[in-house]
Amino acid sequence: MFIAIDDLRPEIGAYGSKIAITPNLDKFASQGLQFNNAYCQQAICGPSRASVLTGIRPETSGVFHNYIKFREVNPKVITLPQHFMQHGYETVYTGKIFHHGDLDEQSWSRLAAIDSMTSKGIKNPVGFALKKNNQERAETRKEMVAKYGKVAKYGLASGIAYEAADVSDDTYKDGYNTTLAIATMNDLLAKNNQKPFFLGVGYNKPHLNWVAPKKYWDLYDRNDIALALQKEAPQNGATMGLHPSFELRVRSGIPKKGDIDEELAITLKHAYLACVSYVDAQVGKMIRGLEEAGIRDNTIIIIWSDHGFHLGEMGIWGKATNYEIATRVPLLIWTPNMPKGSRGKTTDALVELVDIYPTLSDFAGIETPAHVEGTSFKPLIDNPKVTWKTAAFSQFPTPALREWGAFPLRPAMRETYFGPLLKDVEKRIKKQLGEKWDRELFENNLMGYAMRTEQYRLIVWKDRANPEKEPVFIEVYDHKNDALESINIAENSPELVAQLMKQFNKGWKGNLPSK
């Protein structure tokens, strides 16, 4: 059972959240192994999911933004579910597994049991349950298209950022897809209970828009919701490393420039938390369905998120950065035969989402394809304290000068209400980097490469078109003394930079566990 969650940072009780109400995920963590230092390969949906499901890192695959289908650039790649299908598994999914548009029929042996939902009278899920919110979104889209033309269709009018409607869980996608996943699983068992299956269950929340049934909002008192401790950009940090919260600002009711005021910020975090609790309830329902089917003790369960999310940290809202808050993710696994000494434990080992492919293959006794660039972390489940990787790697192209989804700026986007934000960002980049400024470089070719070691985060900004050139900028954050990544110490730490760059230049292959 392959459970993917969208935009979930480690904001659950098991990871130390003081407010998130997540009893089901916490219970699961108490039964399996929790990875405290798991990192995505790029903090945006499409590239992250492509790397997990193909086992190929973005730098190799060329999937850097949400508008590249992984099959277009890697047509013959064998995906994780496809690999299992080729080894006798029934493979099927509900919800969001690949990024939208990457449904990839080659990966799945059958469709979900949608007829079971129809027969039960369960209606298709909705984006918004309230009529006023649907009307508002339709009117805003009409207005944006009339004003800006085709470019408005790329998310400029996504509706209100949140909704709390007194509706059933099945009204929205995640509740619906959980019921569908359980029905599909039972259908698989009814048709052939001896055939193994790979069931992908994908949750859309807590991705914007933050819509969840009212009962999950009611779990929280807004007076108890604390906002981000660090609301400023890192001191001496890369000005191109933070974006102007594009993804949130396209929502109705959100200021198109300037700060998010405290009252609105509390509401937004409340909305995020409500969605986290909503998904938590669905995970619990899914696992109970597995238990009621009598197959929990013969099923590997893995739960992961595609990337983290800034909720005001560093002054921004959204994913799409190379910092800890965007790249660190929750990762939990339970296997029937894991040692008792590993159950309910945590590991501080550095792992990457690209490691999921070889790990599941390892547990299933299937040989991992040669193209896979991850490392099975099965040894960590046998011994959570075993010496492991010396670094984890992520990357992201110039967050400040990319659209949401990491897509290069369309010229027409400068004519929208994002124009002033982009001019402000450019002004700050030019002030910091002077003669290094070049529009073609910064908008299209500049890549931020992040390396996370046990103590440090190194971010190297390089020209991908001219890799032999010296880095445009370097950031170093000391997690032993600065867990919030508030001060870039690179300029005053030349020896440390040289040491980390030596390690960085070895690449992911040079930072693998010793055999």
How much of the chain, in percent, has pLDDT values that exceed 70? 100
Q: Which stretch of DSSP H or E encloses residue 23? A: helix 23-31
Beta bridge partner(s), residue 487? 235
Amino acid letter, 365: G
Q: What is the pLDDT of residue 515?
A: 75
Q: What is the pTM of this model?
A: 0.97
With a cut of 90, say whether residue 118 has pLDDT above it. Answer: no
List active site positions.
45, 99
Q: What is the pLDDT of residue 70?
A: 94
Which of these, 252, 168, 266, lies nearest to 216 by C-alpha position? 168
Q: What is the pLDDT of residue 63?
A: 96
d(Cα 494, Cα 182) in Å, to the nearest integer?
A: 55
CB 83 within 8 A of CB 189: no
Q: What is the pLDDT of residue 404?
A: 83
- How far is Cα of residue 109 from the mean position of the Cα atoms in its chain? 26
Q: What is the pLDDT of residue 102?
A: 81
Which of these, 22, 42, 18, lies nearest to 30 by C-alpha position? 22
Segment 218-249, tens digit of pLDDT: 999 999 999 998 999 999 999 999 999 999 99
- Mean pLDDT over 319-323 rounds to 98
3-state secondary structure 453-490: CCCEEEEEEEECCCCCCCCCEEEEEECCCCCCCCECCC
The contacts of residue 78 (CB under 8 Å, 6+ apart) are 86, 369, 371
d(Cα 330, Cα 40) in Å, to the nearest integer?
A: 10
Segment 371-422, tens digit of pLDDT: 999 999 999 999 999 999 999 999 999 999 999 889 999 989 999 988 999 9
- Angle (CA) 17-350-493 rounded to 5° is 95
Alpha-helical (H) ranges within 149-301 are 173-191, 214-217, 246-249, 262-292
The contacts of residue 271 (CB under 8 Å, 6+ apart) are 161, 162, 164, 210, 212, 217
Handedness of CA 132, 133, 138, 142 (dihedral sign): positive
Q: Which stretch of DSSP H or E encloses residue 334? A: strand 328-334
